[in-house]
Chain A
Amino acid sequence: MAPDNNAHDQGQSPGTGPDHHDRFVFPKWTNRLREAVAVAALGGVVYLVVLVAGVFSPQNSAIGYAPEQPVPYSHSLHVGELGMDCRYCHVTVETSARANVPPTATCMNCHKTVRTTSDKLAAVRKSAETGEPIHWTRVHDLPDFVYFNHAGHVQSGVGCVSCHGRVDRMEVVEQVAPLTMGWCLECHRNPDPNLRPREFVTAMDWVPEGDPAELGARLRAERKISPSVDCATCHR
């Protein structure tokens, strides 16, 4: 350190000489400025990484969403206990891009004569009477610039459980997959562990006897399944 500085700090009146008069002198606390800036920069980088990772994490943006529905319909009761097949209600899942949410008429197949006075079903009965559909809240929702097709996946033998989880245990449907591009591509690059014979696509608890990847590789070869990773497959 220049002795001038010390002199300055010791309270020697400035302006004793022409040099002192117009020279700017850094105060003493600036001596540690370099280290301080380094620490702050490091902290800032860590801060930004945590923030960006957190903000873009599917854990925050997708997984775990389970909105309340206007009717306390339970998959765990109808599928898990009563053993109904997904396609009883989601009829179009094998033939079209969208899996339909069932119309009131489907519920009334049974609820015309089962639990006819239940309060939980009041909204269903009202909808059947008036013809006004039940306003179910969407759970899974890809951005509108992405093209997705259920039929293509279900016909190729990708089970519902691979993307929607154990729906048969859900009282309220909950999103379990992140539905990010990385997630789609991970399977498109290597679909083998998720392929199964066509007749088991809706079976929630089905597991292959041997190694899933081995069976998948065989099925893939047999049926010439080759999921594309070209951008235009999903962005069209």
Chain B
Amino acid sequence: MPRPIIYVLLVLVAVSLVPMGLLYRANHLPKNQPRLQVVPDMDQQFYYKAQTENPFFADGVTMRKPPAGTVARGMLAADDAYFRGIARDTIFVAEIPATVTRPMLDRGRERFNIYCAPCHGQSGNGNGMVHARAQALGEGTWTPPTDLTSQTVVDRPAGHIYNTIANGIRTMPSYGAQLSPEDRWAVTAYVRALQLSRNATPADLPVETRAALGQ
């Protein structure tokens, strides 16, 4: 075979190894490197998405808040008792200003276990996982979460618990951003249910259950 042809073939073989090498490299990229993107057409389009930076606005945030003092239609939270837990002036409503139903309690339990249980524990006695860990670590700055079934909290008006969820209290952070007014009342109702169950006596049980327990 003439030399030039051999050279050309050798070069071709060598060149054909390059993509394979690149492929091998792509396959063995460190995990923190972006993956291979072969046809990037329109994968990243030039519009701004939630939680991204936006140079157009002074604060650089894409997600805009409604201007101060404006209310969206149907969103006027006029009912002080329902939306702020306040009866009049600064007096909290004593009872939940909504009908407590089974679905509401179920919802309350679910939300409680998500947002409150890490600190207050699933039974509300203040012994959540985060509290236990903070104790184990000997964190001096950690305030023990209140036992929600204690007499202090039993005596609190419902509106006070609602307000605690919405705005926080002393060292407890606010959960207003995570829980809608509806959910806050559901959680309040569930806290009441926990208090009932923790402080119950046999006399509170239905007759049949009492009989079954031999009381």
Tell me whether A105 and B23 are in contact in the complex, defined as CB-CB below 8 angstroms, given that A61-B36, A100-B51, A114-B139 are known contacts. no
Rounded to whole Å, the gap between the CB of B24 and the closest CB of chain A is 9
| Closest partner residue, chain A, to B34 (CB atom) | A65
Q: Are B37 and A110 in contact (CB under 8 A)?
A: no
| Set of chain A residues within 8 Å of B36, measured between Cβ atoms | 55, 60-61
Rounded to whole Å, the gap between the CB of B154 and the closest CB of chain A is 25
Q: Are A83 and B118 in contact (CB under 8 A)?
A: yes
The answer, yes or no, to whether B196 is at the interface (CB within 8 Å) is no
Instruction: Give the secondary structure class of A's interface.
Output: loop
* One of A51, A81, A113, A133 near B142 (C-beta < 8 A): A113
Q: Are B118 and A82 in contact (CB under 8 A)?
A: yes
Segment touching B, from A6-14, A85-93, A151-159, A185-193 = A85-93
CA distance in complex: A59, B119 (Å): 40
Q: Are A105 and B177 in contact (CB under 8 A)?
A: yes
Q: Are A110 and B177 in contact (CB under 8 A)?
A: no
* One of A61, A85, A109, A144 near B113 (C-beta < 8 A): A85
* One of B31, B35, B129, B171 near A62 (C-beta < 8 A): B35
Q: Are A66 and B38 in contact (CB under 8 A)?
A: no
Q: For window 138-152 of chain B, which residues contact chain A by CB distance below 8 Å? A: 139, 141-143
* One of A54, A61, A88, A115 near B115 (C-beta < 8 A): A88
Q: Are A114 and B130 in contact (CB under 8 A)?
A: yes
CA distance in complex: A133, B61 (Å): 9
For B, the interface residue count at a CB cutoff of 8 angstroms equals 43
Q: For window 81-134 of chain A, which residues contact chain B by CB distance below 8 Å? A: 81-85, 87-88, 91, 98, 100-101, 105, 108-110, 112-116, 133
Query: 0/1 per residue, B101-119, Cβ < 8 Å to A?
Result: 0000000001001110011
The answer, yes or no, to whether B153 is at the interface (CB within 8 Å) is no
Query: 0/1 per residue, A56-79, Cβ < 8 Å to B?
Result: 100111111111100000000000
The answer, yes or no, to whether B178 is at the interface (CB within 8 Å) is yes
Q: Are B32 and A68 in contact (CB under 8 A)?
A: yes
Tell me whether A56 and B143 are in contact in the complex, defined as CB-CB below 8 angstroms, given that A66-B32, A145-B45 are known contacts. no
Tell me whether A60 and B139 are in contact in the complex, defined as CB-CB below 8 angstroms, given that A47-B16, A83-B129 are known contacts. no
CA distance in complex: A55, B45 (Å): 22
Tell me whether A66 and B31 are in contact in the complex, defined as CB-CB below 8 angstroms, given that A55-B36, A108-B173, A112-B173 are known contacts. yes
CA distance in complex: A63, B19 (Å): 20
Q: For window 1-58 of chain B, which residues contact chain A by CB distance below 8 Å? A: 1-2, 16, 19-20, 23, 26-27, 31-32, 34-38, 42-45, 47, 50-51, 53
Q: Are A144 and B51 in contact (CB under 8 A)?
A: no
The answer, yes or no, to whether B133 is at the interface (CB within 8 Å) is yes
Rounded to whole Å, the gap between the CB of A37 and the closest CB of chain B is 12
Q: Are B42 and A59 in contact (CB under 8 A)?
A: no
Rounded to whole Å, the gap between the CB of B4 and the closest CB of chain A is 13
Q: For window 140-164 of chain A, which residues contact chain B by CB distance below 8 Å? A: 143-145
| Closest partner residue, chain B, to A77 (CB atom) | B133
CA distance in complex: A86, B159 (Å): 28
Tell me whether A113 and B118 are in contact in the complex, defined as CB-CB below 8 angstroms, given that A60-B27, A82-B129, A144-B44 are known contacts. no
Q: List 12 contacting pairs A-B, 8 Å CB cutoff, sorted by A.
A: A27-B2, A82-B130, A85-B113, A91-B178, A98-B51, A110-B119, A113-B141, A113-B142, A114-B133, A116-B139, A144-B47, A174-B31
**Residues of B at under 8 Å CB distance from A?**
1-2, 16, 19-20, 23, 26-27, 31-32, 34-38, 42-45, 47, 50-51, 53, 61, 110, 113-115, 118-119, 129-130, 133-134, 137, 139, 141-143, 171, 173, 177-178
**Residues of A at under 8 Å CB distance from B?**
27, 29, 47, 50-51, 54-56, 59-68, 81-85, 87-88, 91, 98, 100-101, 105, 108-110, 112-116, 133, 135, 143-145, 172, 174, 199
Q: Given contact pairs A56-B38, A61-B35, A88-B114, enumerate 11 new A-B contacts (beta carbons under 8 Å).
A: A51-B20, A54-B27, A60-B26, A61-B38, A67-B34, A83-B118, A105-B177, A114-B134, A114-B141, A114-B142, A145-B42
